[in-house]
Amino acid sequence: MWETRVPATQIRHSHHRPALEYEDMRNGENNGADEYRRNNDKRPGKRPPLPSYRRGPLSWLIIAVIVFTAVMMLQQGLVTNTLRWDQFLMHLEQGEIERLEIGDSEIVGKFKENTPMAQEKRTVSFKVNYRPETGAKEQLNEALASAKEKGLQIQIEYAQQRFWIIWLLNWVLPVLLLVGFFYFFFARNLRGGAGGMLMSFGRSRHRVHGKDRIKVTFKDVAGIDEAKDEVAEIIEFLKNPRKFQRLGGRIPRGVLLIGPPGCGKTLLAKTIAGEADVPFFSISGSDFVEMFVGVGASRVRDLFKQAKDNSPCIIFLDEVDAIGRKRGASFVGGGHDEREQTLNAILVEMDGFDTNDQVIVIAATNRADILDSALTRPGRFDRQVVVPLPDIKGRVEILQIHARKVKLGPDANLERMARGTPMFSGADLAAIINEAALAATMANKDFIEMADLEEARDKVRWGRAKKSRVVDRKEREITAFHEAGHTLVQSLLKDADPLHKVSIIPRGPMGGATFALPEKDRTMFTRRYCVALLQVCFAGRIAEELFCDDISSGAQSDIEQATRIAKQMVQTWGMSDQLGPISYGPDAATRELSFMQPEREYSEKTAEAIDTEIKQIMGDAYQDAKELIEMNKDRLERIAHALLKYETLDAEDVKHILDGGELDKPTVGDLLAAEQAKRENPKTDEKKEQKQPVN
């Protein structure tokens, strides 16, 4: 699949103390021991001490279960074959019994090894019920006397039956285990309160970061200057709350961070805690939701209780939309729904704050539109801080922050890289620097070059290049002319973004790609720019039709993108002369309910007019692009042949071809051959370098 990548068509108008005390006390008591260990661990041959483990109630319970299982298995192993009295007398007369142990009510015996009974039952032991009062004793004596006359050797022992052992194994031990189970899981919890094992199921699963663990400051955050200014008041309040109380001011109790994924919402919350030097309680919204109703609400109450005990502090709720969705139709379970009870608990806890609690709740979400209005009202999350995608200046600063940890070459241009990464988040930019460092390391380079950064950017956004993939000659030719069409129109249209590079190397789901390099971040789209995008999208299909005498499915993504842009122009942006500036698209609330079919709010006649206008806009763009290509067929053909030869062309190469020049640079095959020769003869290259004179 071949694809032309352009910026997204989205308009952005410029318009707890006990726990900490225990931890500190424990650390203080162990300072001397830790220093002793550190000093002694440096001695040669000194082995580190083995860790010590404490057995809790659960460990003892597991041990008891294992012992009980072993006893039951042993008891099962002691069970022998049970014979009837007539069978026992028959085997006794036949001389198949080797030993007898006669008790008051039971006889336990053992067969000889080579008897058929032992082989059939796969065991030599047996038992038989013995009732002397019914004449069994006389029958046994007669059988034993008869066996003695026949010369049979039978070992006979008389023993008392040990009923107490069987009674203990079958009745007393299970009862003791059951009593122990109830003790460890119920009695200890009732005695220990909420700190018990079972009751801890309703305790909060937050992670506490102490004052000494958070090292993130505003120096580590870039690209969100306005958001940093918004939270400056919160930091000042946590540092000096009396400053605000002097005039009766109250800091917002809740701050809602809104922004796309990867833009630094969690990092900004950590920065607030790091700058204010206060404990940081971190928990995800999904940690509150369980299958048992009431557990989430219990965890909410426990979280806020511990936070108040450790005030001043910050509670950070990540992905708050997991529990903060709008109540009503989306809550199928009604008022007994677990998520709704959790939300109600959060609302009560936040509204129950005292102004001097010095506990600030920070929540992060990328779906602020689906949050319950009671959660975002003043007094709860009454301040919303937007954390947007960084602009070009912010991307440069983010790249510089992440570049501190790596070695950059002299040709690495972070400003150019920032220009080529529109709509990239901070997480994407961090991934680019990391991928570039990995690629340079694998290539045994001394530093990261600009080529490594560009390859890392393409890999992060579109996937790894499939250079080893075998492509059919005809398919490769179609790909070259397809991408050449995109390249030609992208280069000739002044309203389109400048060309960056074009490649027919398969990458991700694409067979080839044409990359644009915007000169600036677009906060709005003009009609001319949208029409230019449409022409660039159609150029690949037109080039296939004119030069390959056929069309392929490679233009699928281009057609989808062009259709989406045309629909937005007509239905959302009001760029239709016939329909005028009227919005015919579904509203935002309907779009969020993906399980519902959007209801049209216009007539069939208007729907026909919308379809006609969309088709007209796309048809005009297609025809204009076709005329432009027909006027520059020789240029497009030269670009396609260069792509077949070099596989990748940058903007300078394309400009040189459009001006009528010929490229003179090594092909991919030449580069691969040189690299192979360098690997096979490394010593020759070193000698050549040594022979070179030093100026």
List the catalytic residues: 483
Q: Which residues have a Cβ under 8 Å from the Cβ of 272 and sit 6 or more positions away? A: 231, 234, 235, 238, 314, 362
136 and 106 Cβ atoms separated by less than 8 Å: no
Q: Which residues have a Cβ under 8 Å from the Cβ of 595 and sit 6 or more positions away? A: none
Q: Quick one: how far is CA 158 from the chain centroid?
A: 71
- What are the E-state strand segments in 358-503? 359-365, 383-386, 499-503
Give backbone dihedrals phi and psi of 313, rounded to 5 degrees, phi first.
Answer: -160, 175
Structure token digits, residue 339:
């998520």
For residues 204 and 316, what is the distance between their CA atoms, to the nearest angstrom?
13
For residues 307 and 480, what is the distance between their CA atoms, to the nearest angstrom?
62
Scored b (16 or more CB within 10 A) or e, 620-634 reads ebbebbbebbeebee
- Name the 3-class secondary structure at 294: coil
Query: Position 84: which residue type?
Result: R
Q: What is the dihedral of CA 32, 37, 43, 46, to 10 degrees?
A: 150
For residues 279 and 20, what is the distance between their CA atoms, to the nearest angstrom?
9
Nearest Cα to Cα of residue 258 among 248, 268, 247, 272 = 268
For residues 174 and 64, what is the distance between their CA atoms, to the nearest angstrom?
10
578: burial class by Cβ within 10 Å (0-12, 13-18, 19+)?
exposed
What is the edge-to-edge ordering of all strands in the sheet holding 97-102? 81-83, 125-129, 106-111, 97-102, 155-158
For residues 594 and 217, what is the distance between their CA atoms, to the nearest angstrom?
40
211 and 229 Cβ atoms separated by less than 8 Å: no
Structure token digits, residue 148:
């003695």
Question: Which uninterrupted H or E stretch holds 612?
Answer: helix 604-631
Structure token digits, residue 613:
């206008």
Secondary structure, 3-state, 618-679: HHHHHHHHHHHHHHCHHHHHHHHHHHHHHCEEEHHHHHHHHCCCCCCCCCHHHHHHHHHHHH
Overall size of the chain counted in residues: 695
